[in-house]
Chains A and B, each alone.
Chain A
Amino acid sequence: MYEHLETAVNPAGLKRVVVDPVSRVEGHGKVTLLLDAENRVQQARLHIVEFRGFEKFIQGRPYWELPVLVQRLCGICPVSHHLAAAKAIDQLVGVDPADLTPAADKLRRLLHFGQVLQSHALHFFHLSSPDLLFGFDSDIAKRNVIAVLAEYPEIGLQGVKLRKYGQEVIRMVSGKRVHGTGAIPGGMNKALSRDERDYLLQDIDQVLAWAESAVALIKSVHTANLPYYDEFATIRSNYLGLIKPNGAMELYHGGIRAKTDSGTTIVDHYDYCAYTDLIHEEVRSWSYMKFPYLTALGKADGWYRVGPLARVNNCDFIDTPLAEAARVEFKQHGGEAMVHSTLAFHWARLIELLHCAEGIKILLRDSDVMSSHLLVQGEKRYEGIGVIEAPRGTLFHHYQIDDNDIVTKANLIVSTTSNNMGMNESVRQVAAEYLSGRELTEPLLNSLEVAIRAYDPCLSCATHAVGKMPLQLELVDAEGQVIDRLIRHSDGEFEHGLA
């Protein structure tokens, strides 16, 4: 693959180009390139430059605080952390997933479908559609959602409303937009009222129609330029995710399935409570984000990708009809057992969005979501592990508590960490195949970001106070001197030149 570009043989004297931070992703990451005198790429890395310290944030807290507290780890997928924590804490109160009441299980799934739907809508319509609709090398002034709203108003508005609908599902199930306490140890704290159910049902057919349109849109975008979309940033990898017992796609609860790049099964229906035997995390000196790998395959061959592409690749089928038909078309286009195109993450993501819309409709028509049988109890345990498929991929929460119910140990593996090696390989593929030897321009640098954005990474929790989150691009000469600098502040002001 492209691992030879992780570390330059002789970095002295190479030009350094920094894209910092990568835009249209969550959090703060940067890409560095080392170039020789002919602009040939000798090294390319995606660095995560903020240490998050999630585990420290959680340790020392009473376990019952966690379902609310962990939502604050991320402003984009709070519900994913909420549900992963809730599953872990169920175990701390002696409740296994199979013990939940049907009402609690279905309400959690409904909450999760709402979360995945809104997250996927945000990513596609808001963050990625400008690249996909206008082109990676289009005028930077056009690469934003406002331009999408201006030139494709129907598509832009559908994106806004799909996102809003997902948020409304979350609000109805958890009682609040944020800080909701929908899931509690052993179940849920409220059911849907009939009014709430009917309110959500009003729009679900429209949401389904929009989701179908979105799948048709990404399919046409992808297939209109098929060789390029199948090759850009594309790497071959293993894939990992949860799966239902019958092999269907699963987002909330199941065993782990991992497959190789040729589709051979590595593990299947693996109990996630034994994940520490399955996965190890490697530390590399140049990034705060770890590099997980399947222990049995080793560091060099065991890295894997998670998220929509992994889930659609790994499952035998999707158990909702429209999404299943879309999956079959998706798999056929690639012509082999697994689809490896990094840009196909977008296509897979929208197939999942459609699946979520179908899943929401099915659950809203199920009277269990209005049932008052919401809680079960068990005997206290000292260790709990919860795993779900978050929008960006498999999310692990692992806690240990003491006699006073205080968390003494916490371990989180977030989805983006699992995709760390994949994102780096995609960056290196783009650097090697599309940038190397060329004069670097803003559109070419954007193509690096396009590769990263396909993974929808969540690089850190958002802090967004006014004046935060600038973007900085530096040009450094062969002697390591910064010779030019462009800073883009969050309020849109540009500052060009050396201070």
Chain B
Amino acid sequence: MTALKPVLVFAYGNPSRGDDALGPLLLEALENQVGTNTVEFIVDFQLQIEHALDIQGRRVAIFVDASVKAEMPYQFSRLMPLRDRSYTSHAMSPAALLDVYQALYGSPPPTFLLGIAGLSFELGEVLSPDAAQNLALAVEFACRLLSGSAEDILAAAIKVVPPLDLPVPA
């Protein structure tokens, strides 16, 4: 119904499950700070096979999720298609989603994952204080990344991979 924007930022998570809200909250912050002519923001509870179709036709795609693996406040990394086991559940990993994309359409566009460190994920919890600090740093980073044209954004994304060496908050 509207023209496809060249940059996709896709955040996923459940806003009522504590730090699982990090992805949706980052998008909420970015929507007020980043121009939406180039960037399309999509939020969902979890990744599913049909989201492969959202990647189609993009110049660059960035997934945003809470991470229990991130050793830093946030980690920005390149994603490649990977046949992991998450496709056997209702919720897929972004790498598995790229694998689905590859099976459907061939090589996916350059795709990245912004994982924001979270600690606690119980139903009904609010964001933990540590996660809130991590979110603020991730928002700063994402605002810097998502400026200019799609080519500028892609160049900036490639430049910061491997992950930024950021101080861990006390």
**A469-B104 CB under 8 A given contacts A69-B16, A75-B14:** no
By Cβ-Cβ distance, the 9 closest A-B pairs, closest first, are A492-B84, A75-B45, A72-B16, A164-B50, A464-B91, A149-B103, A466-B67, A467-B68, A467-B69
**A469-B50 CB under 8 A given contacts A57-B123, A463-B14:** no
| Assembled-state Cα–Cα distance A156/B87 (Å) | 13
CB distance from A181 to the nearest CB of B (A): 14
**Is B108 located at the chain interface by the 8 A CB criterion?**
no
Interface string of A106-119 (1 = CB under 8 A from B): 00000000000010
Inter-subunit contact A490/B84 (CB<8 Å): yes
Q: In chain B between 95 and 147, which residues have their CB closer than 8 angstroms to a CB of chain A?
A: 95, 99-100, 103-104, 115, 118, 121, 123-124
| Partner of B121 from A54, A118, A468 at Cβ < 8 Å | A468
**Is B159 located at the chain interface by the 8 A CB criterion?**
no
**A122-B45 CB under 8 A given contacts A466-B68, A467-B67:** no
Interface string of A60-97 (1 = CB under 8 A from B): 00000000010011011010000000000000000000
Which residues of A lie under 8 Å from residue B50 when comparing CB positions?
Answer: 118, 160-161, 163-164, 167
**A462-B68 CB under 8 A given contacts A164-B53, A488-B85:** no
| Assembled-state Cα–Cα distance A250/B87 (Å) | 32
Q: In chain A between 149 and 179, which residues have their CB closer than 8 angstroms to a CB of chain B?
A: 149-150, 153, 156-157, 159-161, 163-164, 167, 177-179
Inter-subunit contact A149/B100 (CB<8 Å): yes
**Is A331 located at the chain interface by the 8 A CB criterion?**
no
Inter-subunit contact A465/B49 (CB<8 Å): no
**A160-B85 CB under 8 A given contacts A72-B16, A463-B20:** no
Interface string of A467-487 (1 = CB under 8 A from B): 111010000000000000000
CB distance from B99 to the nearest CB of A (A): 6
Which residues of A lie under 8 Å from residue B42 when comparing CB positions?
Answer: 177
| Partner of A466 from B49, B52, B65, B104 at Cβ < 8 Å | B65
Inter-subunit contact B69/A24 (CB<8 Å): no
CB distance from A231 to the nearest CB of B (A): 26
Which residues of A lie under 8 Å from residue B100 when comparing CB positions?
Answer: 145-146, 149, 160
Interface centre among B65, B104, B121, B124 (most CB of A within 10 A): B124
Which residues of A lie under 8 Å from residue B121 when comparing CB positions?
Answer: 463, 465, 468
| Assembled-state Cα–Cα distance A492/B89 (Å) | 12
Number of residues of chain A lying within 8 A (CB) of chain B: 56
A463, closest chain B residue (CB): B121
**Is A48 located at the chain interface by the 8 A CB criterion?**
no
**Is B88 located at the chain interface by the 8 A CB criterion?**
yes
| Assembled-state Cα–Cα distance A52/B17 (Å) | 12
Could you pull out 13 A-B pairs where Cβ atoms are within 8 angstroms?
A25-B90, A26-B89, A126-B48, A144-B83, A145-B49, A150-B103, A160-B49, A160-B104, A163-B49, A167-B50, A178-B45, A199-B1, A464-B12
Interface centre among A54, A146, A177 (most CB of B within 10 A): A146
| Partner of B123 from A53, A125, A149, A156 at Cβ < 8 Å | A53
Inter-subunit contact A122/B53 (CB<8 Å): no
- A-contacting residues of B (Cβ < 8 Å)? 1, 12-17, 19-20, 42-50, 52-53, 65-70, 82-91, 93, 95, 99-100, 103-104, 115, 118, 121, 123-124
**Is A195 located at the chain interface by the 8 A CB criterion?**
yes
A150, closest chain B residue (CB): B103
Inter-subunit contact B67/A178 (CB<8 Å): no
Which residues of A lie under 8 Å from residue B12 when comparing CB positions?
Answer: 464
Which residues of A lie under 8 Å from residue B91 when comparing CB positions?
Answer: 75, 462, 464, 469
CB distance from A51 to the nearest CB of B (A): 10
A61, closest chain B residue (CB): B124
| Assembled-state Cα–Cα distance A491/B87 (Å) | 10
Which residues of A lie under 8 Å from residue B90 when comparing CB positions?
Answer: 25-26, 75-76, 122, 127, 462
Which residues of B lie under 8 Å from residue A462 when comparing CB positions?
Answer: 14, 45-46, 90-91
| Assembled-state Cα–Cα distance A69/B123 (Å) | 11
**A122-B115 CB under 8 A given contacts A461-B123, A466-B93, A467-B68:** no
Which residues of B lie under 8 Å from residue A53 when comparing CB positions?
Answer: 123-124
**A490-B44 CB under 8 A given contacts A167-B50, A461-B123:** no
| Assembled-state Cα–Cα distance A195/B1 (Å) | 8
Which residues of B lie under 8 Å from residue A149 when comparing CB positions?
Answer: 100, 103-104
A464, closest chain B residue (CB): B91
Q: In chain A between 135 and 153, which residues have their CB closer than 8 angstroms to a CB of chain B?
A: 143-146, 149-150, 153
| Assembled-state Cα–Cα distance A122/B46 (Å) | 13
CB distance from A170 to the nearest CB of B (A): 11
Which residues of B lie under 8 Å from residue A465 when comparing CB positions?
Answer: 13, 19-20, 65-68, 118, 121
| Assembled-state Cα–Cα distance A157/B105 (Å) | 10
B42, closest chain A residue (CB): A177
Inter-subunit contact B13/A178 (CB<8 Å): no
Inter-subunit contact B93/A75 (CB<8 Å): no
**Is A23 located at the chain interface by the 8 A CB criterion?**
yes
| Assembled-state Cα–Cα distance A157/B65 (Å) | 26
Which residues of B lie under 8 Å from residue A78 when comparing CB positions?
Answer: 45
**Is A4 located at the chain interface by the 8 A CB criterion?**
no
**A490-B85 CB under 8 A given contacts A76-B90, A195-B1, A466-B68:** yes
A163, closest chain B residue (CB): B50
CB distance from B85 to the nearest CB of A (A): 5
| Assembled-state Cα–Cα distance A163/B54 (Å) | 13
Beyond the given A466-B65, A471-B85, A492-B86, please list 13 additional residue pairs across the A-B interface where CB-CB is below 8 A: A26-B89, A53-B124, A72-B123, A145-B49, A145-B87, A146-B83, A160-B104, A178-B45, A464-B47, A466-B66, A468-B68, A491-B95, A492-B84
